[in-house]
A and B are shown apart, each in its own frame.
Chain A
Amino acid sequence: DVKVTQSSRYLVKRTGEKVFLECVQDMDHENMFWYRQDPGLGLRLIYFSYDVKMKEKGDIPEGYSVSREKKERFSLILESASTNQTSMYLCASSFSAAGIYGYTFGSGTRLTVV
């Protein structure tokens, strides 16, 4: 069974901390995505990557950065966590960037910044 694994289900961090969210996929997908999900707003794209060391900004990249050193791993970095970054973070991967065959999502990381 194909999987996207996010390293933590729940995280609590302090304002100003540097936070790393890790995502690993075992499907040899080229494309990986980071979304955040907030009530009433749906999923919003933060960053995506279509190849190792390649990245593109999504709709809300401010305050975030990403790293993709290996094909299977895509990391989201909060440089200096703030309370407005409290959210559910979802990682996804796909064979096709268009998601024609559907994105495969991880179970999410619920981040609370206090």
Chain B
Amino acid sequence: EDQVTQSPEALRLQEGESSSLNCSYTVSGLRGLFWYRQDPGKGPEFLFTLYSAGEEKEKERLKATLTKKESFLHITAPKPEDSATYLCAVQPGGYNKLIFGAGTRLAVHP
């Protein structure tokens, strides 16, 4: 069964304290792995798509990496405005849909 597991469920950081969020997956024939950011009361906002092991994407303080079993979202020197829920999703081979994890709630305190 295709599955996405994100850890930790919640993460509290001090401003400037770098860390990583994990997304592990089991999927038949990965076509793509996606990261989204969701602010309270809003819909998810697209961040990155990764297609193959070894690929990396960066955007400001965020860097996403992909291996054959998991993806990491690295946050370097986070700021309070990075506080949000980060969602990971995978697209299995042969399917036109995304399977989402439950998300990691990130809180960055000044």
Please tell me if the beta carbons of B97 and A48 are within 8 angstroms of each other in the complex: yes
A: interface residue count bin: 20 to 34
| A98 touching B43, Cβ below 8 Å | no
Q: How many residues of B contact A (CB 8 A)?
A: 22
Interface of B is mostly: strand
> Cβ of A103 and Cβ of B46 under 8 Å apart?
yes
A100 adjacent to B49 (CB under 8 Å): yes
Q: Is the CB of A98 within 8 A of B32?
A: yes
A48 in contact with B100 given A43-B87, A98-B91, A103-B46 (CB within 8 Å)? no
Contact assessment for A102 and B97 in the assembled complex, using a CB-CB cutoff below 8 Å: no
Please name all residues of chain B whose beta carbon is closer than 8 Å to the beta carbon of A102 when the two chains form the complex: 34, 36, 46, 49
Residues of B within 8 A of A44 (CB): 100
Binding site for B on A (CB under 8 A): 4, 31, 33, 35, 40-45, 48, 50, 58, 90, 92, 97-108
